[in-house]
Amino acid sequence: MTRSYDNERTVVSVLRSAGLYPTDEQDEKGYVEEEDVVIGTRTYTLSRIAKADVRKFGDQLDRVLQRQNPFIHDIFARNAVQCIAAVRLANGDAKQGFLGAGAGGNQLDFTLMGAREFYDPDVSGSTRTSWVRTIAVVGSKNIVEGATTGLALTLAEATCDIYLAWYNPAALPCLDAHQLILNTDIKDVQTLDFEQLQVDQGDPIIEFKAPFIVPPEEGYEILGYYFRTGSDETRPIGLRIKQAKDLRSLTDIRLE
C-alpha cells in the first residue's frame, strides 16, 4: 500500500478554510482575535494578529515547501492552523506581528528546524553540526535538550517551537520510540517503526500523534530510545518561530 497526499491541499488553502486567511483586500485589514488555549497542563493566550500577517505566513511557508518532498508539504498544510497558533503564541511577547522575509527587529520570522539550531546531546554546551549521530550504546537518550546534558531546553521570549513529524533516512534505523516532556507534563511514549515504513512505503516519515507546541519561555525535552547501535539520522519536521533580530548571524542560529 502506498501513502497518498492531497496535492490540492496547501498551507494557504487550509488557513482559508479555517477563516484565518484574508479573502479580499477589505478582509486583509481585519484581525484574528485573541483566544485562550490549553497546551499540556497550562492555559496560554494566542495573541490578536492581523490577517495580513497570516497571509504573509501562509504564502511564504507554501513557497518554501512547494518544491520539497510533497509528503512534508502536506504535513505542514494539514497542521497549518497549529502552525499559525505557534506564531500567535510568539507574538504575545513580540507584539510586532509576522513579516517573515521582510521582518526586522522584534517582528517574527520562521525557520524550518535545522541541526545548528539545537544543542548537541552528546557534547554538553556545544551546538549540533548535523542531525547524524553515532549511537554507541543501546538505551534512552535525549534527542532535544538544553545546553547542559540531560536538562530541559528553555525557549527564549517570543520564541515558539512546533514539531509535526520525524524524518529518518538512515539505511538501518536505531530509534524506535520517543517521549515528549513539556515542563513537568510527561507525555506517553510513541513507538516509531521506521523499518516498516522503509519496506512498505518508501518515505521514512512518522508523524507525531498530535502537533507538539512549545510556548515561549517554557522548558522541554524530547527523549528517544535507541534499540541498536549505529548511525542515527532522525531529524524533526517542524518550525521555530523567532524574532528577526535573532536571525541575523549565519554562524549562530541557535539562539533559542
> Same domain, yes or no, for 153 and 200?
yes
H helix and E strand count, the chain: 5, 16
CATH number at 192 reads 2.60.120
Residue 250 domain-assigned (yes or no): no
| Domain closes at, from 80, 111, 142 | 111
Reading the block at residue 210, the C-alpha cell is: 498530535
> Same domain, yes or no, for 124 and 83?
no
Residue 22 domain-assigned (yes or no): yes
State the pLDDT at residue 86.
Answer: 98
**Paired residues of 180 in beta bridges:** 222
pLDDT in tens, 240-249: 999 999 988 8
∠ CA 31-37-39, nearest 5°, is 135
Residue 132 domain-assigned (yes or no): yes
CA–chain centroid gap for 192, Å, is 18
> Same domain, yes or no, for 192 and 222?
yes
State the pLDDT at residue 199.
Answer: 52
> Same domain, yes or no, for 134 and 224?
yes
Stated as kind and residue range, the H or E segment containing 133 is: strand 133-135
> Same domain, yes or no, for 148 and 85?
no
> Same domain, yes or no, for 106 and 151?
no
Nearest to 128 by CA among 233, 10, 5, 241: 233
- Average pLDDT over all residues of the chain: 93
For 70, counting Cβ atoms within 10 Å of its Cβ (0-12 exposed, 13-18 middle, 19+ buried), the class is middle
> Same domain, yes or no, for 99 and 136?
no
Domain range for 177 is 114-239
pLDDT in tens, 39-79: 999 999 999 999 999 999 999 999 999 988 899 999 999 99
> Same domain, yes or no, for 207 and 102?
no
| Domain closes at, from 111, 135, 166 | 111
> Same domain, yes or no, for 234 and 125?
yes
Percent of the chain residues topping a pLDDT of 90: 85
> Same domain, yes or no, for 135 and 92?
no
| Domain closes at, from 111, 126, 150 | 111
pLDDT in tens, 230-241: 999 999 999 999
> Same domain, yes or no, for 16 and 77?
yes
What CA–CA distance (Å, rounded) separates 162 from 76? Answer: 10
> Same domain, yes or no, for 216 and 126?
yes
Domains: count for the chain: 2
Residue 147 domain-assigned (yes or no): yes
pLDDT in tens, 191-221: 999 988 655 556 799 999 999 999 999 999 9
